[in-house]
Amino acid sequence: MKDNVFNEIKDLITEARNPASEDIDDKCTREILEIINQEDQGVPKVVEKEIPYIVQAVDILVEVFKSGGRLFYIGAGTSGRLGVLDAAEIPPTYGTDPGLVQGIIAGGEKALVRAQEGLEDIAELGVKDLMDRGFNKNDVACGVAASYRTPYVLGAVKKAREIGAKTIYVTCNPRSEIKLDVDVAICPVVGPEVVMGSTRMKAGGATKLVLNMLTTASMIRLGKVYGNMMVDLKMTSRKLEERSKRVVMMVTGVSYEKAAAVLDEAKGHVKTAIVMILAGIGAGEAKQRLIESNGFVRQALG
C-alpha cells in the first residue's frame, strides 16, 4: 500500500516533471543554463498575477505593525531559509527592532546551513516553535511552503488561526488546491521545476520575490522610505555610515562634510538630519515633527 505522503505529493505541480527539461542530462553546459534561464523568465509574471492577494497581505501587515503586532514567517527547508533571510534584513535596512519581523525554520539555526529535513513532518513542533517565540493574537503568522502540505508549517498556521491571529500563506501550488483557513493565500504557481521537485529553483525565486514585496511595501507604508531611499537605516557599519551620508547629500544637496556634521547632531538618525536641513531647524524640533507625522519625512516637511 502506498504511503500517505506519496499520495499527497504525486499530484502536486511542484512535484511534477517538466517537459522542457526531460533530457537535460544529455545537454552541454550552455544548453543546461539556457533551459534554466528560460524557465526562470516566467517567474516574475506569475508573481505579478498574485499582486491583488499581496495587496491584501500588506494591508494586514501595516495595520498589525501600527497596533504593535509582529510578523512571523514559519517554514522548513528552502522556504524556511527564505523567511529567516527576509526577516534578518529588515532591521539594518529600515531601522526596526529585530523582533518586528521574525523567521522560524524547522530545525532552528542549524537548519540554515545544514538540512534538517525530517523535522518538517512534525506539526506539533511547528506549533511549539511559534508559541515559544511569544506569538499572540495581535501578531501575524505567515506560513511559507512551496508544496503547501508541510505539516510543520500547517500546524503552526492552524494554531495561529485558533488563537485569533491573522494568517498568511505563501505556496507555489494552486489556490484551488489549498484546503486551509487563512486570511490571505498567495499562490505564485511557477509550474514544474527544471529538476523535478527541486523547489529551491523557480519556487524559491517566486517566494523570495513575494516576501520582499510583503516587507518592502509594508515598510514604505510605515514611512521608512523617502522618495525611493531608505531613511530609517541604522549606522551600524562603515558601509551604512557612508550610505547614510550619501542619502542626506542626495536629498538635501549639501556637501559630504555638512551631511556628516548634521548626522552627528542628529545622533546618526537620517530622517532627523534631512528634516533639520530642509526645514532649517534644530534636532529637537525635527524629531518632534517626525513624531507628529508618525515618522513620515514628507509630512514632517509640510
| Class of CATH domain 13-221 | alpha beta
Give residue 3's pLDDT.
59
CB atoms within 10 A of CB 162: 11
Sign of CA pseudo-dihedral 116, 120, 124, 126: positive
Which listed residue (15, 39, 120, 193) is catalytic?
A: 120
Give residue 9's pLDDT.
66
Which listed residue (63, 89, 177, 265) is catalytic?
A: 89
Active site residue 120: yes
Sign of CA pseudo-dihedral 194, 44, 233, 261: positive
For residue 246, what are the contacts with CB-CB under 8 A and spacing of at least 6? Answer: 259
Q: How far apart are CA 265 and CA 102, in angstroms?
A: 32
pLDDT in tens, the chain (302 residues): 445 776 666 767 787 888 888 999 999 999 999 999 999 999 999 999 999 999 999 999 999 999 999 999 999 999 999 999 999 999 989 999 999 999 999 998 888 888 777 788 899 999 999 999 999 999 999 999 998 889 999 999 999 999 999 999 999 999 988 788 999 999 999 999 999 988 999 999 999 999 999 999 999 999 999 999 989 988 888 998 999 999 999 999 999 999 999 999 999 999 999 999 999 999 999 999 999 999 999 999 98
Q: pTM higher than 0.85, yes or no?
A: yes
Using a 10 angstrom Cβ sphere, with 0-12 exposed, 13-18 middle and 19 or more buried, the burial of residue 32 is middle
Give residue 98's pLDDT.
95
User: How would DSSP label each residue in 130-156?
Assistant: HHHTT--TTSEEEEE-TTS--HHHHHH
The residue ranges of every structural domain in the chain are: 13-221, 226-300
For residue 109, what are the contacts with CB-CB under 8 A and spacing of at least 6? Answer: none
| Grid cell of 297 as nine digits | 519625512
The domain made up of 226-300 is a member of CATH 1.10.8.1080: yes
Active site residue 89: yes
